[in-house]
Amino acid sequence: MPVIAFANPKGGSGKTTAALLLATELAAKGAAVTVIDADPEQWIVRWAGLPGKPDNLDVVSIREEDALVDAIEAAASASQFVIVDLEGTANMMVTDSIGMADLVVIPLQGSAMDAVGGGKVLKLIRNQERTTKRTINYAMLLTRTSAAVTSRALRDVVEQLRSSKVPLFATPIVERAAYRDLFSYGGTVGGLDPASVSNVDKALQNAQEFAGEVLTRLNITKPMRKVA
């Protein structure tokens, strides 16, 4: 089953938020999903301890580098999708996950610092392609973008990626209060109360479009199997 790794050695790139949005939206479609939380902060593990986690979404905590490969293999045999939230460093855990991934998502904000971090992941991907002798599917994902204003720094990053012909998600993850609330109160975007959180409908549409594009990049077109 597809393994989707979220990687950027720069902290604060929006990696964990994007991983959780994908996991919850795939689960909402009826898929069995396992998230492997290999980030030292363990934010998705903390989220899983709050109310509202879908029954068809499991979260596995990994802290040791030598445990990751076995965890991915075990999750892939039991779930339809495996999502790996990696720590913000370029270590062996990140390298192993990239080597096993069917899709590597590289989140970055519209800044030169994040772009440098993304470049480091690209080097890891190239090295793993040479080692494993296979092409690794990957794409950059813009995160925490403004719904109203596009900054000059963001425009520069997009232009740089396009000129370098680096794959880029057409759907950015927009900065939304709803996404922050997931880590405070648990649950899914679709389960948030619109009376308490602003623009839940727009946040949900954004998350659904992102999940749909992930499926497209994985060449998955058939409907999800409903989980009993």
Residue 110 confidence (pLDDT) above 80: no
Q: What would the pLDDT profile of 19-78 be if each residue is shown by its tens digit? A: 999 999 999 999 999 999 999 999 999 999 999 999 999 999 998 888 999 999 999 999
pLDDT surpasses 90 at 149: no
Specify the CATH number for 3-217; select among 3.30.43.10, 3.40.50.300, 3.30.310.50, 3.40.50.620: 3.40.50.300
Structure tokens at 33: 């999903």
DSSP 225: P
pLDDT score at 223: 59
Q: Which of 85-94, 178-187, 209-218 has the lowest mean pLDDT?
A: 85-94
- Residue in the block written with tokens 């405070």: 184
> pLDDT tens, 117-146?
788 888 889 999 999 899 999 999 999 888
- How would residue 157 be classed by pLDDT, with cut points 50, 70 and 90? confident
Cα separation, 62 vs 93, in Å, equals 10
Q: Where are the domains of the chain?
A: 3-217
Structure tokens at 132: 């494993």
- pLDDT of 203 reads 97
